[in-house]
Amino acid sequence: MKKFFLTLCVAFAATGFAMAQDLAAVVETFNAAATALNEKNYESALAQFNTALEQATSLGDEGAEVLNNCKEYIPKVLLQLGKESAEASNFDAAVDFFKQASDKALDFANNEAVVAEAQKLIPQILNAKAGALLNAKEYDAAAAAYKSIVDADPANGAAWFRMGQALSAADKADEAVEAFTKAAENGQEANAKKQLANIYLKKAVACQKEKDMKGMLENAQLSAQNNDSANAQKLIGTAALSLKQNQVAAEAFEAYLAINPEATDKAQTIYQIGTAYMGANNNSKACSYFKQIKGDAKWGEAATYYITTLKCN
């Protein structure tokens, strides 16, 4: 950047000796700031531009040119300090500098480009900070960082999704569900629903271990609604059969085999479908399933018994 070069004899004539001395000191400070800026010593440049700004302000009209130049460069220097901090992964400092740059540019009413760039960079830095925390497995801190992003931009589906991942990893399933639901509503539906399905599947398994068949059924159904899977359908069938919701059980087991036709427990599942339809008073369908496994080494005897009992044709 250019420096100021005063012709002191002209300054003396125009302002008087004392004022010229003061103006010369201001210009010297400004030029020192300019040198620091050219050398990319941004901290020194900022300090000296601020000093020159204060000094030029005290001179009134005589310091107006220096004052205006200080106002032009201070937001730019703050922006550069923010970029330096970001490159060093000092994200909090970067955000603070970008905010200062934007505030100063607005206060000085002279640099819309700085305001626009700073406001564009702030969410990028917040996202980088949150991503670094997530990668470092600092899940609570990452979730908090992503929350600061969605608080400012509620339509940021990617941030909602990452927030859900952090909360899920921190074993905060209910909060993760809320975050993934928001992600699904803001452009991340496919990925978010897969995550929701996984959360509900884990909840269903936990309920199974606790012998909470109702909770197992509800969560397995929610898992299937978000992203259907063989595991979810098998859990639905098992829970529904235990709760004597036979039609639901039969349909779930059928869906399980449709997704996984070569399941290792295929014969057992066919037997369960038969018993479910029998419980639902649909003997015709029950018979059709029992007949499929009447020759099975393990389940054939039981199937044959029901074929005889039901008088299957």
Quick one: pLDDT at residue 216? 98
**pLDDT level of residue 21 (50, 70, 90 thresholds):** low
Domains and CATH numbers, the chain: 1-135 (1.25.40)
**pLDDT level of residue 62 (50, 70, 90 thresholds):** confident
For residue 50, give the 3-state DSSP assignment.
helix
Strands (DSSP E) contained in 39-190 are: none
Strands (DSSP E) contained in the chain are: none
What is the mean pLDDT of the segment spanning 7-25?
Answer: 51
* Buried/exposed 181-208: b ≥16 CB within 10 Å, e otherwise: bbbbebebeebbbebbbbbbbebbbebb
pLDDT digits (tens, 9 = 90+) for 282-313: 999 999 999 999 999 999 999 999 999 999 98
Please name which of 212, 251, 247 lies closest in space to residue 233, comparing C-alpha atoms: 251
> Is residue 8 scored above 80 in pLDDT?
no
Quick one: pLDDT at residue 3? 53
Least-confidence region, from 15-19, 87-91, 267-271, 283-287: 15-19
Crossing angle of the two packed helices 246-259 and 266-279, in degrees rounded to 10: 150
Give Cα separations from 212 to 38, 186, 204, 243 (angstroms): 70, 34, 9, 10
Q: What global pTM score does this model have?
A: 0.80
**pLDDT level of residue 22 (50, 70, 90 thresholds):** confident
**pLDDT level of residue 24 (50, 70, 90 thresholds):** confident
Compute the CA torsion angle 173, 178, 182, 183 (nearest 10 deg).
Answer: 0
Give Cα separations from 103 to 84, 95, 98, 164, 279 (angstroms): 19, 12, 9, 32, 72
Quick one: pLDDT at residue 6? 40
Phi, psi of 38 (to 5 degrees): -60, -30
Phi, psi of 53 (to 5 degrees): -60, -45
What is the mean pLDDT of the segment spanning 208-218?
Answer: 98
Which residues, 6+ apart, have CB-to-CB distance to 210 below 8 Å? none
Q: Are 165 and 130 in contact (CB under 8 A)?
A: no
Please name which of 76, 82, 90 lies closest in space to residue 38, comparing C-alpha atoms: 76
What average pLDDT does the chain have? 92
Quick one: pLDDT at residue 20? 52
For residue 280, give the 3-state DSSP assignment.
coil
**How many Å apart are CA 301 and CA 296, to the nearest integer?**
8
> Is residue 96 scored above 80 in pLDDT?
yes
> Is residue 83 scored above 50 in pLDDT?
yes
**How many Å apart are CA 113 and CA 117, to the nearest integer?**
6
What is the mean pLDDT of the segment spanning 122-136?
Answer: 95
For residue 289, give the 3-state DSSP assignment.
helix
Q: Are 278 and 253 in contact (CB under 8 A)?
A: no
pLDDT digits (tens, 9 = 90+) for 195-210: 999 999 999 999 999 9
Q: What angle do CA 105, 107, 108 make, to 5 degrees?
A: 65
pLDDT digits (tens, 9 = 90+) for 142-194: 999 999 999 989 999 999 999 999 999 999 999 999 999 999 999 999 999 99
What is the mean pLDDT of the segment spanning 79-96?
Answer: 95
**Percentage of residues in the chain having pLDDT higher than 90:** 87
Quick one: pLDDT at residue 106? 93
> Is residue 10 scored above 60 in pLDDT?
no
- Using the structure block, give the residue that is written with the tokens 């032009």: 72
What is the mean pLDDT of the segment spanning 71-95?
Answer: 95
Q: Can you read off the two tokens belonging to residue 191?
A: 């990925």
Give the largest Cα separation in the chain, rounded.
Answer: 123
Quick one: pLDDT at residue 9? 35
**Percentage of residues in the chain having pLDDT higher than 70:** 93
> Is residue 14 scored above 50 in pLDDT?
no
